[in-house]
Amino acid sequence: MATTASRTSLVIPAPGGSLLAELTRPAAAAGLVLFCHGSGSNRLSPRNQYVAEHLQHGGLATLLIDLEHHNHACHGHTLAALPPLQQRLLSVIDWTSQHPQLQMLPLGLYGASTGAALALVGAAERPERVQTVVSRGGRPDLVFQRLAEVRCPVLLLVGEHDLDVLELNAWAAGQLQVRNELVVIPQASHLFSEPGSLDAVAEHAYRWFAEQFSRSTISSAGDL
């Protein structure tokens, strides 16, 4: 497990204005996880921060960003809110490909709620860069037309009592043309506020990212 990590506040250029971000990079990080928050949220989301800390302790670098500008927040699960956020996410993905300390790290996307829709399209748009996606209580139905274009493994995490979203994710799992896994977190609702539920999310996410990054590293070594 990682014991030390560098933390840096960043300003990343993107369409519509620069984005605030927080990069945490453990020594000898095994990969980088870019967090895609849902609409109306930001890099300070307590749930995303909690999961990010768990990943950091496991030796993964994390990048939490504000995809929305504070004076132009896009509230609600709407298709209209997605395009500007999508372009900003793609800019951040491209930025990681050019950053000297990050470009060699395998990249995974972690998306919550509408952020999961952004992550899935980000994976479809940048298949050479994005190695895997983890969706927490995600809304893959918002980008149903892009699901078949995703080329990396996908983990879908849904609360047992989040019935509508569970149904949507079960449907999405059938539409994905790649390895995917749907994990139902017992006794959890959409916000995973029940005792132990967010711990389960963090552990499932960590194991998935670690496994996929390990496979990516082995594959890259084999190409040398």
Give the tens place of pLDDT for each residue, 168-179.
Answer: 999 999 999 999
Residue 13: pLDDT above 60?
yes
Give the tens place of pLDDT for each residue, 61-110.
Answer: 999 999 886 544 444 445 556 888 999 999 999 999 999 999 999 999 99
Averaged pLDDT, 186-210: 97
**Would residue 156 count as lying in a domain?**
yes
**Would residue 16 count as lying in a domain?**
yes
**Would residue 76 count as lying in a domain?**
no
Q: Are strands 107-112 and 130-136 parallel, antiparallel or unpaired?
A: parallel
**Would residue 183 count as lying in a domain?**
yes
Share of the chain above pLDDT 70, in %: 87
Number of domains comprising the chain: 1
CA nearest neighbour of 208 among 157, 143, 150? 157
Averaged pLDDT, 116-140: 97
Range of the domain at 127: 5-68+81-222
Q: Report the pLDDT value the prediction gives residue 74, as an integer from 0 to 100.
A: 47
Q: How far is CA 76 from the centre of its chain?
A: 19
Q: For residue 87, how many other CB atoms are within 10 A of its CB?
A: 14
Lowest-pLDDT choice from 23-27, 79-83, 153-157: 79-83
Q: Report the pLDDT value the prediction gives residue 81, as an integer from 0 to 100.
A: 65
Q: How confident is the model at residue 133 (pLDDT cuts 50, 70, 90)?
A: very high
Q: What is the CATH number of the domain that holds 86?
A: 3.40.50.1820
Q: Report the pLDDT value the prediction gives residue 154, as an integer from 0 to 100.
A: 98
